[in-house]
């Protein structure tokens, strides 16, 4: 299988959301995304990764690669520091495979992080889920605007466990 990983935003160009303690979404997404790529490659999958501030370029590269699955990785943010949890987004009219991909990732994250609130699978018109040919989802790992979750997102062990959970979810969806 061919998997395209898109860590959200672009370090040095577009930091994405920034937490209270200065943690940048783009940096967290890059770390988690690279680890997901490594774990999938270790499992024998062909993986491409692109972190770029052009969503059009990201989708074009995924489509050119011929991805069987597309996963974008982000950190959530909200004006209230009490917003918490993770969620997985699919397109408004998701394919059966996109729904399966999202459900498998959600399941693995719930099993790995029982204290992380599950906000569920959401449907929306996100650019990367709409304009990729592959079944696609976007994972909001946790709220960078929540000081507790920002600390988790900054922790290398937590980042690695999140990457493992996402990678397991992707391989589960292949079955």
DSSP string, 91-141: ESS--HHHHHHHHHHHHHHHHH-TTS-EEEEEEE--HHHHS-SS-EEEEEE
pLDDT for 62: 98
Residue 66 DSSP symbol = T
- The answer to whether the pTM exceeds 0.95 is yes
Question: What CATH number was assigned to the domain covering residues 2-173?
Answer: 3.40.630.40
What pLDDT is attached to residue 85? Answer: 98
- How far is the C-alpha of 92 from the C-alpha of 146, rounded, in Å? 27
| Nearest by Cα to 2 from 98, 68, 92, 75 | 68
State residue 102's pLDDT score. Answer: 98
What's the pLDDT score for residue 90? 98
Supply the mean pLDDT for the chain: 97
Q: 35 - beta bridge partners?
A: none
Tens digits of per-residue pLDDT, 5-38? 999 999 999 999 999 999 999 999 999 999 999 9
Give per-residue pLDDT as tens, 109-142.
Answer: 999 999 999 999 999 999 999 999 999 999 999 9
How is the chain split into domains, by residue range?
A: 2-173
pLDDT attached to residue 167: 98
Please, which residues have CB within 8 angstroms of residue 30's CB and are 6 or more apart in sequence?
7, 11, 51
């Amino acid at each position: 299988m061919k998997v395209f990983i898109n860590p959200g935003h672009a370090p040095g160009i577009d930091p994405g959301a920034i937490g209270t303690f200065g943690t940048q979404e783009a940096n967290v997404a890059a770390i988690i995304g690279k680890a997901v790529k490594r774990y999938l490659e270790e499992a024998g999958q062909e993986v491409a990764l692109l972190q770029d501030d052009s969503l059009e370029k990201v989708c074009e590269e995924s489509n050119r690669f011929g991805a069987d699955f597309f996963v974008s990785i982000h950190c959530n943010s909200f004006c209230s520091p009490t917003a918490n949890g993770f969620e997985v987004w699919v397109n408004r009219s998701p394919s059966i495979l996109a729904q399966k991909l999202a459900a498998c990732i959600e399941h693995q994250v719930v099993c790995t992080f029982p204290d992380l609130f599950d906000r569920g699978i959401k449907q929306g018109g996100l650019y990367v889920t709409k304009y990729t040919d592959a079944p696609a989802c976007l994972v909001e790992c946790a709220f960078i605007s929540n000081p507790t979750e920002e600390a988790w997102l900054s922790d290398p062990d937590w980042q690695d466990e999140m990457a493992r959970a996402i990678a397991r979810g992707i391989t589960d969806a292949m079955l």
